[in-house]
Chains A and B, each alone.
Chain A
Amino acid sequence: MKSCLIVDDSKVVRMVARKILEGLSFDIDEAEDGQKAIEACQRHMPDAVLLDWNMPVMNGLQFLQELRAMQDVHQPIVVFCTTENDMDHIKRAMEAGANEYIMKPFDSDIIESKFVQVGLI
């Protein structure tokens, strides 16, 4: 079973995303900001990260940069999932090493089709 770390400061979004991804047979871990997500990755590197942008303590982009700088780890596939929906943010995310990008609001179809595209399903 593949694992996915859901990183979002909204409890509701984490719950919805968890339900969708568990339905797609993912083993789920959650983090409420980038710093907690880094700690989670150090404990156990997931196969995938579903990543919000705007969060307290450490935002999604900073998390992604730190994650991609980690040496000698199995790098996960990172899918942004954020209300930031302009080309500038999308470009910055992709340049920082994101694999896909979801603009909120999302539904199960969007999550599934994006996860298929990056080869997670």
Chain B
Amino acid sequence: MKKAERAAIYGTGRAYWHRLKMDLIGHKWLYLMLLPGLIYFIIFKYLPMWGVVISFQNFVPFSGVFGSQWVGLKWFRYFFSNPSWTRYLANTLLLSVMNLVFYFPAPIILALLLNEMKHARYKKLMQTLLYVPHFISIVIVVSITYVIFGSSGIIYKLTQQLLGTEIKYLTDPKLFRWMIIGQSIWKETGWGTIIFLAALTNVDVQLYEAAMVDGANRFQRLWHITLPAIRSTIVLMLVLRMGSVLDTGHDHLILMANSLNRSVSQTLDVFVYQQGLQSGQYSYATAIGLLKSVVSLILIVSSNKVAHMLGEDGLY
């Protein structure tokens, strides 16, 4: 909203503050209900943000935030002087792009498929079964992968028999990202359908009936009615996703990493974990975390802009 527009609606100067006061008094119960949420965000989200100050210090827990030595941009220089930082960034981005291309559309497609199901009870059963993997810990998912893809595992033996070559699923760096994406899809696709299925229930049934009268086939109905109806949800999810492009998580990757695929499994998150928790370099890890946050902020703001340009509501 432009400044002039806002002034036209709410007035300027004293008039604005007067209106705000009247509004606060008039809707005092609504504002009171907002308070707990506001307090939560201040205490748990905004106050801890001051912790980023340690990324400019040589932080020693015993000396505390106020007693630690101020080193300015030392840790940022340290990070960029490490010849491997481009590799960490490339690994992070590649994994994220693959996530976006292969993992992001999966729940949408699955939700559309579920939506087309005629038999209501069978659909319910399928939904429930599809949610199950979400509740399995990633540690278990990785262990299962090791059992079936390892050199005595069923899939390894199967491909060995069929193709005549040994495919090293667990150690080949070329296959590493596919394994990660595959596991993510297996685990989270079913759960991810929830939000799209909810959006799909809002589609007016009369639209389908009218389209059927006009002679639209199933695919045409899907393309012209269903997809446009959930488009804003998809864009919203995509914008949110953009904010976490640099978040690869570390637990899943560390579990799947080994000495032969380290060149592709080292992402920024894994590096932060190694430096911060394993080596106790809190300042260094915080500095890299801060860099990541800045990039994420830029991405989320610009992708929201793009969404607006395309005529969508976007995130805000």
A binds B: no
